[in-house]
Chains A and B, each alone.
Chain A
Amino acid sequence: MKRPFILILVSIFLLPLVVRPAIASEIWIFAIFGLGLNLLLGYTGLLSFGQSTFFGSAAYVAGWLLKFYGINAFLALGIGVGVGAASAALVGYLCVQRSGLYFIMLTFALNQLFYFTAYQWTSVTGGEDGMPGIPRPVLLGIDFKDPLVYYAFVSVLFLISLYAMKRIVESPLGKILQAIRENEIRAEAVGYNVPRFKLLAFIIGGAFSGLAGVLYAMLFGIVPLEAISFVFSGNVVFATLIGGSGSLYGPVIGSFVFIWLSESVSTLWARWPLLLGMAFVIVVLFLRGGIVEAWSRFWLWRSSKQKN
């Protein structure tokens, strides 16, 4: 087995000993969210600033069905994946023809459109109060109300997501998306319909976001309005960049750092976003590859010293 995978397995087992199970679950949920974004950001070179559109839409729809129809948890997750993918198809369709700043602004603007819809539609979404009362279902006789059991459930889904994403980025599709990032004109000329592939990246990213959204709703028993706001969209971009958008594991590490910091430091120091801001500036100025790059540079430096 590969080293990153072992590290992740060990973290999954140790994490609940260090932080509350809810926070531990949130870390892996956010990591799934980050995996989806990074297919767009790191692999395709598309900075989507509206990922919470898919996260939130899935959370609301699945949350509603869980709450009022008591649907099965797997069905809820499946519906979440579907809603995430469908909303991403819609947003992607409108965005893939644009580029640069226009693209970013459009993902943001559409995110705002979804946000205000959720904000206004209080009879369904609860508006600012959120949509509370989402049950954590009983599955195959296992009661997911126990936070540790739910944590195990989330961890398994995270591992499945990671495996799926690994297969995707190592497939021809992964190569094609990176080719688009590297040189759109040449990618088109060698025979790829670039907008269509960008749309596919959106849909896959949206599916991952949707899965994360439903897990999030079941974790906290509520869909807060923030779940569809630019704050969540920004957070996932932030976490992914800090972790490193250039690799598969970057968003996982980023989520780890981001959620842990925001939960631990924020209780000690109200101005903790300042810390994040500084980390962000450092990454943008010196470490485009985020923590993953810092780590590999460190090892390169170590091994070069040992040789001397």
Chain B
Amino acid sequence: MAILETKKLTKAFGALTAVNDVSLAVEAGTLHSIIGPNGAGKTTLFNLLTGTFPPSSGRILYDGRDITGTPASRIAHLGLARSYQRTTVFPAFSLLDNVWTAAFATGNSWSGLMWRRTDRYPEVTERARQALSDVGLSSKSNQLAREISHGEHRQLELAIALAAAPRVLLLDEPAAGLSPDETRKMVALVRALKGRYTIVLIEHKMDIIMSVSDRISVMHFGSLIAEGTPEEIQKNPEVRRAYLGGVAA
């Protein structure tokens, strides 16, 4: 069953149609990748799914429910969490506080919101620690986010999304700017998360995509031009022409 679905989703910025008539269905429990050249509209699609801005037209269904127009701050509570292509964390916070803030938001209850000390929420803290440990940052939990390396920032980015205990993870180029070694670790991490969450992955690196995806959708100038298994996508002539070019040939 599709857990996340878009129907004829369109977003125009003035004359530019960044997302054009996209109908997409993500099956629960799968890893579904979205690829496409720079400026294809992949990040814009995520922005629509997470309520950063409303679509110009079309609908978004989550778990069979129409969530079109739901504001960004409600989306996390529905069980959709995202990581950003360009790292966006809380710089002056410790790593633990970064994930704690995300874990608290979607916690069972906000009782004591204005009064109880933050260290008196054992289950929130536990979830936050688990998220850090999932991405391998446990040993740095007391370090400030502004003091860690780029690679660690990418891990933290993912941990913040995990801390929300989501059902669906939207990952926007988690390996952006990573060294080959860091990239290998990130791929292993994404692979480890596969199955635990439904994952929608945007990525440019073809080898990663082909090895981890259950399904792949290809975007080009805002439109979906192909969808299928990694083998099907590799063979698709239109995809080769539009995107893979010399890489797959």
Contacts and interface: CB of A to CB of B under 8 A. Distances in A.
A172 B90 contact: no
Given A173-B114, A175-B118, A194 B73 contact: yes
A192 B50 CA distance: 13
B77 interface: yes
Given A170-B117, A182-B91, A190-B160, A175 B73 contact: no
A170 B90 contact: no
B73 A172 contact: no
Contacts of B104: 172, 175-176
B77 A191 contact: yes
B101 interface: yes
A7 to B, nearest CB: 22
Contacts of B77: 191
User: Chain A: interface secondary structure?
Assistant: helix
A191 B93 contact: no
Given A188-B73, A190-B101, A191-B106, A172 B112 contact: yes
B72 A176 contact: no
B92 A182 contact: yes
B90 to A, nearest CB: 4
A167 B93 CA distance: 19
Given A170-B118, A190-B76, A193-B73, A183 B110 contact: no
Contact of B112 (A171, A176, A178, A190): A171
Contacts of B88: 183, 185-186
A186 B160 contact: yes
Interface centre among A172, A193, A204 (most CB of B within 10 A): A172
B105 interface: yes
Contact of A167 (B72, B76, B115): B115
Contacts, number: 87
A175 B113 contact: no
A36 to B, nearest CB: 14
Contacts of A192: 73, 105
Counting contact residues on chain B (CB < 8 A from A), the size range is 35 or more
B105 A191 contact: yes
A191 B74 CA distance: 6
Nearest to A204: B114
Contact of B114 (A171, A185, A186): A171
A218 interface: no
A40 to B, nearest CB: 15
Counting contact residues on chain A (CB < 8 A from B), the size range is 20 to 34
A142 interface: no
A69 B248 CA distance: 86
A175 B101 contact: yes
B118 A189 contact: no
A189 B112 contact: no
B164 interface: yes
A192 B106 CA distance: 9
A169 B222 CA distance: 45
A179 interface: yes
A168 interface: yes
A190 B77 CA distance: 8
B11 interface: no
Interface string B104-124: 111000101111111001000
Interface centre among A174, A183, A191, A193 (most CB of B within 10 A): A191
A178 B92 contact: yes
A168 B75 CA distance: 27
A193 B160 CA distance: 17
A177 to B, nearest CB: 11
Interface in A195-239: 204
Contacts of A167: 114-115, 117
Interface string B66-79: 00000111111100
Contacts of B224: none
A170 B77 CA distance: 24
B26 to A, nearest CB: 19
A187 B88 CA distance: 10
A189 B82 contact: yes
Contact of A191 (B73, B89, B112, B114): B73
A171 B115 contact: yes
Interface string A147-183: 0000000000000000000011011111110110011
20 contacts: A170-B117, A172-B114, A172-B121, A175-B101, A175-B104, A178-B90, A178-B92, A182-B92, A183-B91, A186-B90, A187-B101, A189-B75, A189-B82, A190-B76, A191-B73, A191-B74, A191-B75, A191-B102, A191-B164, A193-B73
Interface of B: 50, 52, 71-77, 81-82, 84, 88-93, 97, 100-102, 104-106, 110, 112-118, 121, 160, 163-164
Given A171-B114, A187-B101, A194-B73, 5 more contacts: A171-B113, A172-B104, A186-B88, A186-B89, A191-B106
Interface of A: 167-168, 170-176, 178-179, 182-183, 185-194, 204
* Top 4 A-B residue pairs of the complex, sorted by shortest distance between their CB atoms: A191-B105, A191-B76, A182-B90, A190-B102
